Amino acid sequence: MNRKIYIETYGCQMNVADTEIINGILDKEGYEICTVIEQADAIFMNTCAIRDHAEQRVYGRLGNFDHLKKRNPHLVVGILGCMAERLRQNLIEDQKLVDIVCGPDEYRKLPALIDGAFHGGKGIQTQLSRVETYDDIEPLREEGITAWISVMRGCDKFCTFCVVPFTRGRERSRSLQSIVREAGTLVARGVREVTLLGQNVNSYRDGEADFADLLVAVASVDSGLRVRFTTSHPQDMSDRLIEAIATRENICSSIHLPVQSGSDRILDLMNRTYTRAEYLERVAMIRRSISAVALSTDIITGFPTETEDDHLQTLDILEQVRYESAFTFKYSPRENTKAWKMGDDVPDDIKGRRLEEVIALQRRISLERNRELIGSEATILLEGPSKRSDTEWMGRTDANRTVIIPKGAFEVGDTIRVRIESATSATLFGTVVGRTFAHGSS
């Protein structure tokens, strides 16, 4: 009987895509990927190290496995991903918490590690690579109409607060040809939307081809395929890329463009390599070129030395850009980063209060932006039943807004024209108008 493997995924979309790569590797080796933890012979957590809170959750979860270990003393437990890379032998030797530790560039060695663990051994592989992209691995995905495609790995930006360059290593890109081939295979299987993923997709390179070329190549696979991408670094948000998004109908008009702070002094300490004015200039260019574009961002509150004035400038940039949405975080010091050495001098209650102020302001702006859409029409791709009610469907607009509509004779994957009737800060509510396109046509 095949050994059963269960994987839990934490953190960003890159980890979700990595879990699909891991499942692809293990499936090919004859392991069975299972969804019921009690039936597993080995349990893995694909982890995130970006903030301390993410790591504490994983430690908490490890404790939950004790009862499973009592039932099955041969149960293998492993840590994959960014925490594996950051903590390495600490997890196996010092804390004796797990049997396997495997970093993001070593997933090809997992079958051997698992084999060793089933024979009572402990294994650790955390070498980072300058070339590994898993280009030839076919990810094992759940069936659906949307899919992630990882196009580049690692990050060379070295923002001073961030562990990613240490846990995921140097930037490297997959070949354009294999990404286009993968998109074609997905379309043939009924996928209607792909999201191209990387820590900093804008620095994608394959010979002469840059990210704008890649986007256009993927969008050309099928004019009915929606193409999204994340994450963009403001410094690399080129005019060519903006033009590609503006001119290609099926490249979605939504850009995640993390600003992190509105203060030049803090941006400099963060090594973000742009000023507030340069960032605003990129935003102006984007808004001028791409009609009805939606912008989202990431904000950190309480970076070392952040003053009340720096914080006010962050609030101000939110007012100026008027993002559709924002992900907001309290600064969390990470060992070995440059910011770690700057100390962590903003008290937690002040970080928290600033965070609340950022969230409240953004909620107001998101609501205003959503209300501006009431009475307008949009095309949505139907993703499935709404989470809250089985009499409603949920879909997304080109600009990545969630729209709820009453259930009708539709299928997941249908493209539907809707009119927006009402809005909250997170959701639009619509009614169906005009014609609908059947699943699969474009």
* Residues found near ligand 5AD in the complex (CB under 6 A): 50-51, 161-162, 258, 260, 298, 300, 329, 331-332, 334
Tell me the two tokens of residue 280.
């605003």
Q: CB of 371: closest distance to ligand SF4 in angstroms?
A: 32
- Residue given tokens 């002094």 in the structure block: 265
Residues 223-282 that bind ligand SF4 (CB under 6 A): 233
| Nearer CB in complex with ligand SF4: 23/200 | 200
- Using CB under 6 A, pick the residue from 19, 46, 125, 199 that binds ligand SF4: 199
Query: Cβ distance 285 to 246 under 8 Å?
Result: no
- What is residue 52's three-state secondary structure? helix
The full DSSP string for 263-305 is -HHHHHHTT----HHHHHHHHHHHHHHSTT-EEEEEEEE--TT
Does an H or E element contain 8, and which? strand 4-9
Helices (H), 176-269: 176-188, 211-219, 239-247, 264-269
- Other beta carbons within 10 Å of 71: 8
Tell me the two tokens of residue 217.
């190549």
Should residue 151 be labelled a site residue for ligand SF4 when binding is judged by CB under 6 A?
no
- Using CB under 6 A, pick the residue from 22, 100, 155, 244 that binds ligand SF4: 155
Instruction: Mention every residue, 6+ apart, whose C-beta is less than 8 A from residue 288.
Output: none
Q: CB of 95: closest distance to ligand SF4 in angstroms?
A: 26
- Using CB under 6 A, pick the residue from 72, 95, 158, 312 that binds ligand SF4: 158
Of 24-32, 137-145, 160-168, 175-183: span binding ligand SF4 (CB under 6 A)? 160-168
User: Judging by DSSP bridges, how do beta strands 392-397 and 377-385 pair with one another?
Assistant: antiparallel
> From ligand SF4, ligand 5AD, none, which one binds at residue 200 (CB under 5 to 8 Å depending on kind)?
ligand SF4
Instruction: Mention every residue, 6+ apart, whose C-beta is less than 8 A from residue 176.
Output: 206, 209, 213, 214, 217
Should residue 159 be labelled a site residue for ligand SF4 when binding is judged by CB under 6 A?
yes
> From ligand 5AD, ligand SF4, none, which one binds at residue 334 (CB under 5 to 8 Å depending on kind)?
ligand 5AD
Should residue 157 be labelled a site residue for ligand SF4 when binding is judged by CB under 6 A?
yes
Q: CB of 50: closest distance to ligand SF4 in angstroms?
A: 8
Should residue 173 be labelled a site residue for ligand SF4 when binding is judged by CB under 6 A?
no
Of 159-167, 347-355, 399-407, 431-439: span binding ligand SF4 (CB under 6 A)? 159-167
Should residue 153 be labelled a site residue for ligand SF4 when binding is judged by CB under 6 A?
no
Residue nearest ligand 5AD, CB atom distance: 298
Q: CB of 291: closest distance to ligand 5AD in angstroms?
A: 27
For the four alpha carbons of 24, 26, 27 and 28, in that order, the dihedral sign comes to: positive
Entry field: residues in the chain? 442
Query: Cβ distance 9 to 15 under 8 Å?
Result: yes
| Nearer CB in complex with ligand SF4: 159/242 | 159
Q: CB of 233: closest distance to ligand SF4 in angstroms?
A: 5
Instruction: Mention every residue, 6+ apart, whose C-beta is less than 8 A from residue 278.
Output: 234
> From ligand 5AD, ligand SF4, none, which one binds at residue 300 (CB under 5 to 8 Å depending on kind)?
ligand 5AD
> From ligand 5AD, ligand SF4, none, which one binds at residue 266 (CB under 5 to 8 Å depending on kind)?
none
CA distance between the termini of the chain: 44
Give residues in contact with ligand SF4 (CB under 6 A): 155, 157-159, 162, 164-165, 199-200, 233
